[in-house]
Amino acid sequence: MLTYRMFEGLEIIGYSDSDFAGYQDSKRSTSGYIYRLARNFVKQTFIIPSTMIVEFVACFEASNNGIWLRNFVTSL
């Protein structure tokens, strides 16, 4: 269970990034995102077999989870 103390200015800060063929052995690309909420970090990383879609996956996953996180915080 996640618990946060309520305080004014609960701010969500998010970043996303991707790496084109970063794994030397398999040439797979990775993408991931990280959010900062109440001085703590929530991180997710993906390994993508197709280098063509890695940027779209990073953007989609980060924005999709950012929307969920924003809705969660506003419902507190």
Length of the chain: 76
What value does the CA radius of gyration of the chain take, rounded to a whole number of Å? 15
Q: What is the pTM of this model?
A: 0.47
pLDDT digits (tens, 9 = 90+) for 23-71: 667 667 777 777 777 677 766 666 666 666 766 777 777 788 788 888 8
The residue type at 17: D
Sheet holding 12-19, edge to edge: 12-19, 29-37, 40-48
